[in-house]
Amino acid sequence: MKQQIHTPAYKILYPLRIAKSNIAGKGAYALSTIPARRKIGDLGGVIITMKEAMKLIKDQKVINLVELDNDLALNASANPNDIRFINHSCSPNTFMRVMRDRVEFYALRNIKMGEELSCDYGETHHEGTLPCKCGAKKCRGFI
Protein backbone atom coordinates (compact mmCIF):
# COMPACT_ATOMS: atom_id res chain seq x y z
CA MET A 1 0.00 0.00 0.00
CA LYS A 2 1.33 3.44 -0.90
CA GLN A 3 2.30 5.71 1.96
CA GLN A 4 0.76 9.13 1.43
CA ILE A 5 1.09 11.88 3.96
CA HIS A 6 -1.18 14.89 3.57
CA THR A 7 0.53 18.10 4.56
CA PRO A 8 -1.09 21.22 6.01
CA ALA A 9 -3.45 23.26 3.84
CA TYR A 10 -1.75 24.77 0.81
CA LYS A 11 -2.37 28.47 0.50
CA ILE A 12 -2.02 30.69 -2.53
CA LEU A 13 -1.62 34.25 -1.26
CA TYR A 14 -1.83 36.03 -4.63
CA PRO A 15 -4.54 35.04 -7.13
CA LEU A 16 -3.41 33.30 -10.30
CA ARG A 17 -4.95 32.73 -13.71
CA ILE A 18 -4.12 29.55 -15.61
CA ALA A 19 -3.81 29.97 -19.37
CA LYS A 20 -1.72 28.87 -22.35
CA SER A 21 1.94 29.41 -21.53
CA ASN A 22 4.57 31.15 -23.61
CA ILE A 23 7.02 28.58 -22.20
CA ALA A 24 5.30 25.17 -22.13
CA GLY A 25 1.72 23.89 -21.92
CA LYS A 26 -0.27 25.89 -19.37
CA GLY A 27 1.20 28.63 -17.21
CA ALA A 28 0.31 30.59 -14.06
CA TYR A 29 -0.24 34.33 -14.54
CA ALA A 30 -0.43 36.99 -11.82
CA LEU A 31 -3.90 38.52 -11.44
CA SER A 32 -2.41 41.37 -9.40
CA THR A 33 0.98 42.94 -8.82
CA ILE A 34 3.19 40.79 -6.58
CA PRO A 35 5.87 42.73 -4.67
CA ALA A 36 9.47 41.48 -4.62
CA ARG A 37 10.38 38.97 -1.88
CA ARG A 38 6.73 38.25 -1.01
CA LYS A 39 5.53 34.70 -0.56
CA ILE A 40 3.20 33.71 -3.41
CA GLY A 41 2.06 30.44 -1.86
CA ASP A 42 2.67 26.77 -1.16
CA LEU A 43 2.76 24.08 -3.83
CA GLY A 44 -0.12 21.63 -3.31
CA GLY A 45 0.42 17.89 -3.35
CA VAL A 46 0.89 14.71 -1.40
CA ILE A 47 4.11 13.58 0.29
CA ILE A 48 5.39 10.20 -0.90
CA THR A 49 8.61 8.25 -0.52
CA MET A 50 11.44 8.75 -3.03
CA LYS A 51 11.02 5.09 -3.99
CA GLU A 52 7.41 5.83 -5.00
CA ALA A 53 8.55 9.03 -6.73
CA MET A 54 11.12 7.16 -8.85
CA LYS A 55 8.43 4.67 -9.90
CA LEU A 56 6.13 7.56 -10.93
CA ILE A 57 8.96 9.16 -12.94
CA LYS A 58 9.40 5.87 -14.84
CA ASP A 59 5.68 5.25 -15.38
CA GLN A 60 4.35 8.72 -16.26
CA LYS A 61 5.25 11.08 -19.08
CA VAL A 62 4.40 14.27 -17.15
CA ILE A 63 4.87 14.42 -13.38
CA ASN A 64 5.26 17.28 -10.92
CA LEU A 65 7.62 16.24 -8.13
CA VAL A 66 9.86 18.11 -5.70
CA GLU A 67 12.37 16.22 -3.60
CA LEU A 68 12.15 16.96 0.14
CA ASP A 69 14.28 15.88 3.10
CA ASN A 70 14.36 12.41 4.67
CA ASP A 71 13.93 10.42 1.43
CA LEU A 72 10.53 12.02 0.71
CA ALA A 73 9.05 13.95 -2.22
CA LEU A 74 6.06 16.21 -2.80
CA ASN A 75 3.90 14.80 -5.58
CA ALA A 76 2.19 17.92 -6.94
CA SER A 77 0.26 15.82 -9.48
CA ALA A 78 -1.92 14.52 -6.62
CA ASN A 79 -4.07 16.96 -4.60
CA PRO A 80 -2.63 19.83 -6.68
CA ASN A 81 -3.17 23.58 -6.77
CA ASP A 82 -2.50 26.26 -9.40
CA ILE A 83 1.12 26.83 -8.32
CA ARG A 84 2.00 23.61 -10.19
CA PHE A 85 1.62 25.63 -13.41
CA ILE A 86 4.71 27.76 -12.67
CA ASN A 87 7.01 26.76 -15.54
CA HIS A 88 10.80 26.60 -15.61
CA SER A 89 12.83 29.56 -16.87
CA CYS A 90 16.57 30.18 -16.90
CA SER A 91 15.67 33.82 -16.10
CA PRO A 92 12.88 33.38 -13.50
CA ASN A 93 10.75 35.85 -11.60
CA THR A 94 10.11 33.50 -8.63
CA PHE A 95 12.16 31.12 -6.50
CA MET A 96 11.28 27.92 -4.75
CA ARG A 97 12.05 27.34 -1.06
CA VAL A 98 11.96 23.68 -0.04
CA MET A 99 11.00 23.19 3.58
CA ARG A 100 10.79 19.95 5.53
CA ASP A 101 7.26 19.10 4.42
CA ARG A 102 6.32 21.81 1.92
CA VAL A 103 7.47 23.84 -1.06
CA GLU A 104 7.00 27.63 -1.01
CA PHE A 105 7.26 30.08 -3.91
CA TYR A 106 8.44 33.71 -3.53
CA ALA A 107 8.73 36.65 -5.94
CA LEU A 108 12.36 37.40 -6.87
CA ARG A 109 11.38 40.87 -8.08
CA ASN A 110 8.20 42.89 -8.58
CA ILE A 111 5.87 40.87 -10.79
CA LYS A 112 3.40 42.79 -12.94
CA MET A 113 -0.27 41.93 -13.23
CA GLY A 114 -0.66 39.58 -16.22
CA GLU A 115 2.96 38.39 -16.13
CA GLU A 116 3.64 34.65 -16.35
CA LEU A 117 5.30 33.23 -13.25
CA SER A 118 8.47 31.18 -13.75
CA CYS A 119 11.07 29.47 -11.58
CA ASP A 120 14.51 27.99 -12.21
CA TYR A 121 13.89 24.34 -11.31
CA GLY A 122 17.59 23.67 -10.74
CA GLU A 123 18.61 20.01 -10.83
CA THR A 124 15.86 17.68 -12.04
CA HIS A 125 15.44 13.97 -12.71
CA HIS A 126 15.87 14.85 -16.41
CA GLU A 127 19.61 15.27 -15.73
CA GLY A 128 20.04 17.88 -18.46
CA THR A 129 18.32 15.85 -21.19
CA LEU A 130 15.05 17.81 -21.47
CA PRO A 131 15.29 20.75 -23.90
CA CYS A 132 14.48 24.10 -22.27
CA LYS A 133 11.89 26.25 -24.04
CA CYS A 134 12.00 29.30 -21.77
CA GLY A 135 13.30 31.70 -24.43
CA ALA A 136 15.49 33.65 -21.98
CA LYS A 137 18.48 35.53 -23.45
CA LYS A 138 20.85 33.40 -21.34
CA CYS A 139 18.92 30.12 -21.64
CA ARG A 140 21.04 27.08 -20.74
CA GLY A 141 19.23 25.07 -23.43
CA PHE A 142 18.19 22.20 -21.13
CA ILE A 143 16.48 21.40 -17.86
Q: Is 71 inside any structural domain? A: yes
Q: Is 115 inside any structural domain? A: yes
Q: Is 141 inside any structural domain? A: no
Q: Is 89 inside any structural domain? A: yes
* Number of domains the chain is built from: 1
Q: Which of 100, 140, 99, 138 is nearest to 123 (CA)?
A: 140
Q: Is 135 inside any structural domain? A: no
Q: Is 53 inside any structural domain? A: yes
Residues in the chain: 143
Tens-place pLDDT, residues 58-113: 776 666 778 887 888 888 888 888 999 999 999 999 999 998 888 999 999 999 99
Q: Is 127 inside any structural domain? A: no
SS3 content of the chain, % helix, strand, coil (to 5): 10, 35, 55
Tens-place pLDDT, residues 124-135: 655 656 788 898
Q: Is 129 inside any structural domain? A: no
Give start and end residues of each alpha helix (H) in the chain. 50-59
Write out the residue range of the structural domain in which residue 9 sits: 5-119
pLDDT at 39: 97
pLDDT at 6: 47
Q: Are 18 and 94 in contact (CB under 8 A)?
A: no
pLDDT at 85: 94
CATH number at residue 75: 2.170.270.10
